[in-house]
Structure 1
Amino acid sequence: MTEKSADAFRTIGEMAEALGVRTHILRYWEEQFPMLKPLTRAGGRRLYRPEDVALLHTIHRLLHSEGYTIKGARKYLTSGGAKAAPAPVAAPAPVAGIAVDLSALRAVRDRLNAALQAA
Structure 2
Amino acid sequence: MPPAPPAFADGKEPDALRTIGEVAKALGLKQHVLRYWEEQFPMLRPLTRAGGRRYYRPEDVALVARIDQLLHREGYTIRGARQALSGKAPARPAPAAAPEAGPEPAPRTPGMPAEDEIIAAIRILRRHLQTIRHRLADALED
TM-score range, shorter chain: 0.5 to 0.7
Which consecutive segments of 4 or more residues in structure 1 shift more than 3 A? none
Aligned residue for 1:45?
A: 53
Between Structure 1 and Structure 2, how many residues are aligned? 85
- Which is richer in helix? 1
Q: Which secondary structure does the structure 2 equivalent of 1:67 belong to?
A: coil
Aligned with residue 30 of structure 1, among 38, 43, 53: 38
Residue in 1 that maps onto 2:127: none
Deviation at 1:62, TM superposition (A): 0.7
Q: In structure 2, what is the equivalent of residue 6 of structure 1? A: 14
* Matching residue of 2:25: 17
Q: Residue type matched to 1:50 in 2?
A: P
Q: Partner letter of residue 58 of structure 2?
A: P
**Which runs of 5 or more structure 1 residues have no equivalent in the other structure?**
82-98, 100-119
- State the percentage of identical aligned residues: 67
1:61 aligns with 69
Give the CA deviation at 1:3. 2.5
TM (normalized to structure 2)?
Answer: 0.54
**Higher Rg of the two aligned structures:** 2
Structure 2 unaligned segments of length 5 or more: list them: 1-8, 90-119, 121-142
Cα distance in 2 between the residues matched to 1:68 and 1:2: 31
- Alpha-carbon deviation of 1:42? 0.8
Question: What amino acid maps onto 1:78 in structure 2?
Answer: S
Please state if 1:70 is matched with 2:82: no
**What is aligned with 1:108?**
none
Paired with 2:11 and 2:70, the residues of 1 have a C-alpha distance of: 26
Structure with the greater relative contact order (CA < 8 A, sep ≥ 6): 1 or 2?
2
Q: Tell me the TM-score normalized by structure 1.
A: 0.64
Q: CA RMSD in A?
A: 2.3
